[in-house]
Structure formats: structure tokens, C-alpha cells
Homo-oligomer: A and B are copies of this chain.
Amino acid sequence: MRMMQRMLHDDVCDALLVTHLPHVRYLSGFTGSSGWLLLRKRSAVLLTDPRYREQAAREVRHARIHIVSGTTMTTALGHGLLRTVDRLGVEAAHLDYVTFDNLRTSLRPVRLVPMIDAVEDLRARKFPDEIAAVRRAVRISERVWHEILPLLQPGVREFEIAAEITYRQRLHGAEGDAFPPIVLFGTRTSLIHGQPSAARLRNGQPVLMDFGCRVNGYASDLTRTVFLGKASRRLREIYIAVLEAQALGRDAIRAGLPAADLDRLVRRHIEQQGFGPYFEHGLGHGLGLEVHERPSLSWRNTQPLEEGAVVTIEPGVYVPGTGGVRIEDDVLVTSDGAVTLSRLPRELMEL
């Protein structure tokens, strides 16, 4: 929080209204589903509603708690919390237009200053305790992955495996899933974001599992693709192309490298193997309190990667009617390379 407060430059705004919940949590510790954090240079106030009275008192650090009852947070802000504030920074990417407009009207003469990426940029570089939390989440997901392999038997359904993943992650100490597990069999593996169905596993089919969990709010996000019995020649070729591309990405990543360059390097390998049109998503994304956060490893992000970022590396090839393969690891970017946080086997597995 102190670091954020130091960033409140007098020439831009006198205070910042943090409305994006992962940012509220990051800066104050508050985990509730309704809360705004008003940051001033030498003080901070968390606004929430009476449902979170007890929880806020337990969780919030370095901020006064203001329970808003019988009125809206916008009105509460206007009633005395903004004395001496002329320009209020707002998270313009995390405030809907109606709320923005209400704030603008009700807080007059305070002027709203749309701020972009103020907290995002701070969050991209992880502190050791954040990295440790991601690592613990990765360990839990890996343990579950190993437990799931023997359950991949002919006849089992996609949603049954998904239910096992969710259940086991939680029992092994996760707060919950980082996102609903993706479990796909057979040709359904080409659905990049498909949801588990009642489809049953048959011999010779690929199994794509993409899942993660949360520890202290921090997410893991891992994908492996395995085969029940022998993989077809075509899927083997796809697997090897993805495996090689993913290794290229993990080898090349380092602080200072533009994200788009890394994406291009990996993508070129997949193109050279003839699968270019079938890799239609970005190479990866930042991972932390959100499953998709800065930095994006996309062809659109020309910014150099920062030391301390935690990102996924997850190339994939998806051929409709044939199937898809994705291999995803979580890595920590360092000055001279990266530490791969996940340790699941990557070689082609035929169960």
C-alpha cells in the first residue's frame, strides 16, 4: 500500500479510488465481494457494506474501515471522505460507465481522472510471498494431476474427472478452483475453452486437462494432454510440435525480452511444422490474484518482460475433427532466464 501511495503524484491526482476487487485485496488484504479502497497520500479508507463488518475488521491492514449502510458507496464517498481532494483518480478500466457517471455527477466539484494500469503495473512484479503462494498452488494442482491419471479409464465421463479435480484440490488445501477445470476427451480437445460434458472416455483418445487452484488468493494454471492407449500418428505429430514449441518458449524467456518476440519465436516453430493456422490464442498470460493478468504474452504486447513476473507458457494446436494438444507451465521470469514453477512430466504419455 505504501508503494502505491508514493505513486500518487500531486500533478495527476490527490487520491485514487481503487474499485477492482483483486486490487482492493492486493493493497488492503480485504477479500470480500464488495469493497472500494480510497487511497490518499497518508491515509486509506476501505468502504464496504454491513455484510462484511466482521470480516473487514479481521482482514484489512493499513486502512480505516468505513461501513456503508442505507446508502450507496458513491454517496458515502461524497459525505466527508474527499475533503481537500480536487482530483480523484479512478480505475477507468474497472468502473462501469454508469458508476463513473454517477461519481462524476455526485462528487462535484471533485474532478475524476481516469487512470489506466496504475495498480496493474505494480502487481506485475511479484513479491516473494506472492511467488510462494503461486508455488504452493502449483504443488497442489500437480499432486491432484498425479492422482487423476489412474482414474482415466474407459467409460469415465469428462464431468466426473472435473469433479474429482475440484474436490481433491480443495481437500489438499486449496481455497478452491482458480477457474472451472477444463476436461476434454477425444475430438472435443480441439475446443480451446470447452467445458466438461457427459462424454465418456474411449481407448485411443486424447485427454486434455487444464486446471488450477488458489492459495491465499494466488492461482496456479496447468495443462497437460495425455492419451488413453496409443495416440494416432496425426496427434503424435501435433504433440511433438507443441512440446518442442513449449520448450523453446521456456528456454527463451527472460527479463527484457519483448513479450511479442517470445510469442513469435514459439509461433514460428508451430508454423514450420505446418500447424500455424491451428494455434489461434496467445502464448500465455500473467498469473497471480487473477488468472489472466499482466503481462500478456501476446503478439500485441511489445513491452519487455519484467523480472519477477509470473506467467504461463501454453502453446496449443487444435485441429477440428482431429483434436487438440496444449502444454502449459507456470514460470517466474528472472534477469537471466526463468524458473519453471511446475514440474509435471511433459513427454508424450500413453496410459
Please name all residues of chain B whose beta carbon is closer than 8 Å to the beta carbon of A116 when the two chains form the complex.
98
Given the known A-B contacts A167-B163, A170-B159, are A55 and B194 also in contact in the complex, defined by CB atoms under 8 Å?
yes
25 A-B pairs (CB sep. < 8 Å)? A31-B195, A32-B193, A49-B281, A50-B192, A51-B192, A51-B281, A53-B280, A54-B190, A55-B194, A90-B97, A92-B98, A92-B101, A93-B98, A96-B96, A97-B97, A159-B170, A159-B171, A160-B171, A162-B170, A163-B166, A163-B167, A163-B170, A164-B167, A166-B166, A166-B170
Interface string of A168-210 (1 = CB under 8 A from B): 0011000110001000000000111111000000000000000
Q: Which of A95, A193, A194 has the most CB of B within 10 A?
A: A193
Q: Are B195 and A175 in contact (CB under 8 A)?
A: yes
Q: Are B69 and A98 in contact (CB under 8 A)?
A: no
| A94 close to B (CB within 8 Å) | yes
| A100 close to B (CB within 8 Å) | yes
Total copies of this chain within the assembly: 2
Please name all residues of chain B whose beta carbon is closer than 8 Å to the beta carbon of A281 when the two chains form the complex.
49-51
Which residues between 236 and 288 of chain A lie within 8 Å of chain B, taking CB atoms?
280-281
Q: How far is the CA of A114 from the CA of B99 in the complex (A)?
A: 12
| A84 close to B (CB within 8 Å) | no
Residues of A at the B interface (CB closer than 8 Å) are 31-33, 49-55, 69, 90, 92-101, 114, 116, 159-160, 162-164, 166-167, 170-171, 175-176, 180, 190-195, 280-281, 320
Closest chain B CB from A90 CB (angstroms): 8
Q: Are A50 and B280 in contact (CB under 8 A)?
A: yes
Q: How far is the CA of A144 from the CA of B116 in the complex (A)?
A: 45
Q: Are A171 and B163 in contact (CB under 8 A)?
A: yes
Closest chain B CB from A45 CB (angstroms): 20
Q: Pick the contact of A97: B49, B100, B175, B280 (CB < 8 A).
A: B100
Q: How far is the CA of A176 from the CA of B165 in the complex (A)?
A: 12
Please name all residues of chain B whose beta carbon is closer than 8 Å to the beta carbon of A50 when the two chains form the complex.
192, 280-281
Closest chain B CB from A320 CB (angstroms): 6
Closest chain B CB from A58 CB (angstroms): 9
Please name all residues of chain B whose beta carbon is closer than 8 Å to the beta carbon of A191 when the two chains form the complex.
54-55
Q: How far is the CA of A171 from the CA of B194 in the complex (A)?
A: 18
Please name all residues of chain B whose beta carbon is closer than 8 Å to the beta carbon of A162 when the two chains form the complex.
170
Q: How far is the CA of A165 from the CA of B180 in the complex (A)?
A: 15
Q: How far is the CA of A115 from the CA of B167 in the complex (A)?
A: 42
Closest chain B CB from A56 CB (angstroms): 11
Q: Which single residue of chain B is at the shortest CB-CB distance from A193? A: B51
Q: How far is the CA of A192 from the CA of B49 in the complex (A)?
A: 11
Q: Which single residue of chain B is at the shortest CB-CB distance from A163? A: B170
Q: How far is the CA of A284 from the CA of B192 in the complex (A)?
A: 37
Q: Are B96 and A52 in contact (CB under 8 A)?
A: no
Please name all residues of chain B whose beta carbon is closer than 8 Å to the beta carbon of A53 when the two chains form the complex.
280, 320
Closest chain B CB from A84 CB (angstroms): 25
8 closest cross-chain pairs (CB), A and B? A50-B280, A163-B170, A51-B192, A167-B167, A92-B97, A97-B100, A93-B98, A92-B98
Q: Pick the contact of A96: B49, B97, B164, B180 (CB < 8 A).
A: B97
